[in-house]
Amino acid sequence: MSTASDQSANTEIIAADGEEHHGVSDKQYIVIALILAALTAIEVSTYYVDFGPLFMPTLFVLMAVKFVVVVSYFMHLKFDNKLFSYLFYTGLILALTVYVGALSTFKFFLQKG
């Protein structure tokens, strides 16, 4: 019979020195935060530098990357049980589907400007 602590032991990696949880150390968290800060700086630069036709794709890709990095590493979804991922991404995909569908009925994506 497994207990809650046994279950968490399956999904968490705890090093002997107690530094690592969910397979990520504190130093790695800092590196991830610096990467996120750099991505934010690139996002802000699109306000000052003309990216031409790449403007919108760049912003959307950067937004998606930042979102996934925070969810995967800071929220530990990458290392936790898959059921948590299903619960969260089901809500997210449902929201995207419903609202993209709703905006389409208003012909939102056909509007110019």
**Which positions touch other proteins (CB under 8 A)?**
1-5, 7-8, 12, 14, 18-19, 21, 26, 29-30, 32-33, 36-37, 40, 43-44, 46-47, 56, 59-60, 62-63, 66-67, 70-71, 73-76, 80-81, 83-84, 87-92, 94-96, 98-99, 102-103, 106, 108, 111, 113
49 contacts 57 by C-beta, under 8 angstroms: no
- C-alpha separations of 111 from 12, 56, 107 in Å: 48, 16, 7
**What gap in Å lies between CA 63 and CA 90, rounded to an integer?**
19
Of 47 and 52, CB closest to other proteins: 47
**What gap in Å lies between CA 104 and CA 98, rounded to an integer?**
10
In whole angstroms, the minimum distance from the beta carbon of 102 to other proteins comes to 6
For residue 67 the two structure tokens come to 């979102």
In whole angstroms, the minimum distance from the beta carbon of 52 to other proteins comes to 15
In whole angstroms, the minimum distance from the beta carbon of 103 to other proteins comes to 6
